[in-house]
Amino acid sequence: MSSTNEAIRELAQQEYKWGFVTDIAEERIPKGLSEDVIRLISAKKNEPEFMLQWRLKAYRHFESLQKKDAEPKWANVKFPPIDYQDITYYSAPKQKPNLKDLSELDPEILRTYEKLGIPLEEQKMLAGVAVDAVFDSVSVGTTFKAKLAEAGVIFCSFSEAVREHPDLIQKYLGTVVPYTDNFYAALNAAVFSDGSFVYVPKGVRCPMELSTYFRINAAETGQFERTLIVADEGAYVSYLEGCTAPIRDTNQLHAAVVELIAMDDAQIKYSTVQNWYPGDKNGKGGIYNFVTKRGACRGKRSKISWTQVETGSSITWKYPSCILQGDSSVGEFYSVALTNNYQQADTGTKMIHIGKDTRSTIVSKGISAGHGQNTYRGQVKILKDAAGARNYTQCDSLLIGDLCGAHTFPYIEVKNATARMEHEASTSKIGEDQLFYLRQRGLKAEDAVSMVVNGFCKRVFKELPMEFAVEAQKLLSVSLEGSVG
Amino acid sequence: MNLLEIKNLHATVGGVEILKGINLTVEAGEVHSIMGPNGSGKSTLAQVLARRESYEITKGEIVYDGKDLVALKPEEAACEGVFLAFQYPVEIPGISNAYFLRSALNAVRKYRGQEEMDAIDFLPLLRQKLKLLEMDDKLLNRSVNEAFSGGEKKRNEILQMAVLEPKLAILDETDSGLDIDALRIVAQGVNAMRSPNRAILLVTHYQRLLNYIVPDRVHVLVDGKIARSGGAELALELEDKGYGTMEAAAGRA
């Protein structure tokens, strides 16, 4: 394990040095949203004309929505109105390292890094401390990129893809989440900063997890990320985004859009570990994570799986979904969402069955602690011609203490009589008797809570790439600190 | 030295006083049985010794292995060698028996400054104990007590006791809900744990278990106090006459 970790760290540090994101000269830009700002963003990124036009259309649509006061308010979350003119829409260039060493870092953050078992070098990366090692130029970085190139896999930043692969972008962008889809999707389409682009050609099994690559870059993640992953016929790719380390950001609103497209016999596995700054113990500050994620199973026998572990953000509002167009296509959603202190979450999924013999599985585990409010919202829609459709849904809530809340809003719409649906739900509390049982066997109170919670989440953690399953468990334990006693 | 010395113990649960002055001495190597009618405080005594926080000690002392047991938290008492076989063992979904037991054992080992055991070393140890209790290997991967029959749950408690090797083992109505065969196997397991360094407290209603695990001393708890103590024959006397006379003597009609 250690030599692989070493190699990956080296790679990540190299990328940090040269920039996975294109270098942009620093420039002051006033806050606020206007057509001029959109043009500026596009110009700064050297985007082709089609991209600018798409952004402008999206912006005009967003403006019209604002005029109609169409900002959605139906979610089970409360927050003060967002002033869209009080945001800087042009993302600042990559920060130069500005700390001499880790001792200058907020001790709270340092303590969390240590608890999560993040290696020292990575801690420095995340904190923006200058790294002084010298790397061999015949590096792992070259090998990594070479391996992907050999396989024909395109994996680059979204901005780079717009410039280098405009044909692919034009073909697929906005076909799963058009800018008209919803309020935040319109905003994202107008001002998106960056994200990832992945294209896996026919018959290719992507030779590695596109995951560890992002661990360090998570610190650079922008406010309005846009990601597009296309798996052509027979292709396979597993992608993981996120970082267990808590990332603070002065920008409160994060409205990302992720589009996945799977052709015949293709498979996309998309895992997320999200631990954005959740706000302080009194609910002040914290990031709003309003995300639109959708996968289109366009091809026959295609499969898209979403796995998420959401422990951060002050407010999480997202429904990674699957459109099961192709016959015999499969959609899966596995989720653990934790709300502690004053966090709020309204999350779930939509499975839309369109083709024949389609299958979907939903396993949602919500954990509420402190004053957290956790809502599962799921839609299973079986259209008229979706013969033989099958869905299995299990949504479980775990309550810790008696000041938190768990809510469930399942929407089930079945228009075909041959469909089969199973829905199970449970709500439970970590009882004093469960905790006492574990403590009586020698476990400390906090370890006892961890154990019960991990057992509760096991079904979801099983779906994560192994390295992240271990981190996710640790993350959950750290996030639950102070929730008992 | 006595392993356990309870002096004038008073305890309250939910604002109601259940233990009203318990005096009890247990030496290492001994097996004591605590019997008594429903509501006499037998289970309460067991939970208090295991240091359950919702049970409040209002008066008295408990000296265990030379230490003040009242000052210890449940996990500390456990690591010091106190084990409670629960009357109603809870379920822990998603956590396998093997993982749970290894975690418990390692918590105790860590407390004692010993090296933790990894899965490879632990499994043979666990299998050996499974054999003793005539339990199936398959149980190892099942979640703790999930979908276990009553008898299986009780045997699982004894399995845990066998792995953790406590100094003071308190068995809270372990015989309730067991059929004849399960009873024999559980008794076999407990008897195999008898040792000069260990004391066993059997909390039970019925005399039946005591046919298999013959106690050195029998105490009858009535209305929160020990009404009478004697040898193994006392249990037989109770079986014959019931608790009636003792209850009357204790002032309960």
- Print burial letters for A251-271: b (CB count within 10 Å at least 16), e (below 16): ebbbbbbbbbbbbbbbbbbbb
Per CB-CB distance under 8 Å, the chain A contacts of B74 are 436, 439-440
Q: How far, rounded to the nearest angstrom, does the alpha carbon of residue A441 sit from its chain's CA centroid? A: 38
- Report domain extents, chain A: 1-232
Residue B178 neighbours by CB distance under 10 Å? 20
Q: Which H/E stretch holds residue A149?
A: helix A140-151
Per-residue pLDDT averaged across A202-231, rounded? 72
Per CB-CB distance under 8 Å, the chain B contacts of A459 are 94
**What is the chain A residue with the closest CA to B49?**
A440
What is the per-residue pLDDT for A219? 42
Quick check: B171 and B202 in contact, CB under 8 A? yes
What is the per-residue pLDDT for A24? 38
- Give this complex's ipTM: 0.95
> Which range has the worst mean pLDDT, A209-223, A392-406, B136-150?
A209-223
Q: Is the pLDDT of residue A140 over 70?
A: no
Percentage of residues of chain B with pLDDT beyond 70: 98
What is the per-residue pLDDT for A362? 98
Q: Is the pLDDT of residue A144 over 80?
A: no
**pLDDT class for A138, splitting at 50, 70, 90?**
very low
To test the contact with chain A by mutation, choose from B95, B108, B116 the residue with the greatest count of A C-beta atoms within 10 A, namely B95
CA-to-CA dists, residue B120 to A158, B98, B133, B141, B175, angstroms: 46, 11, 21, 15, 33
Average pLDDT, chain B: 92
Residue B194 or A130, more confident? B194
Q: Which of residues 429-458 of A touch B (CB under 8 A)?
A: 431-434, 436-445, 447, 451-452, 454-458
**pLDDT class for A287, splitting at 50, 70, 90?**
confident
**Helix and strand tally (H, E) in chain B?**
9, 12
Q: Is the pLDDT of residue A105 over 80?
A: no
Q: Give the CA-trace dihedral at A311, A312, A316, A322, to 10 degrees.
A: -50
Residue A459 one-letter amino acid: R
What is the per-residue pLDDT for A86? 83
Q: Is the pLDDT of residue B30 over 60?
A: yes
Identify the CA nearest to B163 among candidates B193, B134, B120, B118. B193
CA-to-CA dists, residue A422 to A138, A357, A407, A412, angstroms: 54, 16, 19, 11
> Which range has the worst mean pLDDT, A180-189, A213-222, B176-185?
A213-222
Q: Which H/E stretch holds residue A126?
A: helix A120-127
What is the per-residue pLDDT for A119? 67
Average pLDDT, chain A: 84
CATH topology of domain B2-249: Rossmann fold (3.40.50)
**pLDDT class for B214, splitting at 50, 70, 90?**
very high
Q: Is the pLDDT of residue A97 over 70?
A: no
Residue A22 or A197, more confident? A197
Interchain pair A438, B92: CB under 8 A: yes
Please name the residue that has the structure tokens 């810790």.
A400
**pLDDT class for A12, splitting at 50, 70, 90?**
very low
pTM over 0.95, yes/no: no
**What is the chain B residue with the closest CA to A433?**
B90
**What is the chain A residue with the closest CA to B106?**
A442
To test the contact with chain B by mutation, choose from A436, A447, A453 the residue with the greatest count of B C-beta atoms within 10 A, namely A436
What is the per-residue pLDDT for A19? 26
What is the per-residue pLDDT for A4? 47
pLDDT one-digit tens code per residue, A229-269: 999 999 999 998 876 666 666 667 889 999 999 999 999 99
**What is the chain A residue with the closest CA to B165?**
A441
What is the per-residue pLDDT for A216? 37
Residue A96 or A105, more confident? A105
What is the per-residue pLDDT for B205? 80
**pLDDT class for A133, splitting at 50, 70, 90?**
very low
Identify the CA nearest to B35 among candidates B189, B215, B177, B155. B215
What is the per-residue pLDDT for A134? 31
Per CB-CB distance under 8 Å, the chain A contacts of B93 are 455-456
Per CB-CB distance under 8 Å, the chain A contacts of B84 are 440
Q: Which H/E stretch holds residue B130?
A: helix B119-132
What is the per-residue pLDDT for B40? 92
The encoded tokens of residue B235 equal 């249990």
Instruction: Please state whether beta strands A359-368 and B217-222 pair in parallel, antiparallel, or not at all (unpaired).
Output: unpaired
**pLDDT class for A95, splitting at 50, 70, 90?**
very low
Per CB-CB distance under 8 Å, the chain A contacts of B79 are 442
pLDDT one-digit tens code per residue, B108-137: 999 999 999 998 999 999 999 998 888 888
What is the per-residue pLDDT for A2? 45
Interchain pair B104, A445: CB under 8 A: no
Q: Is the pLDDT of residue B157 over 60?
A: yes
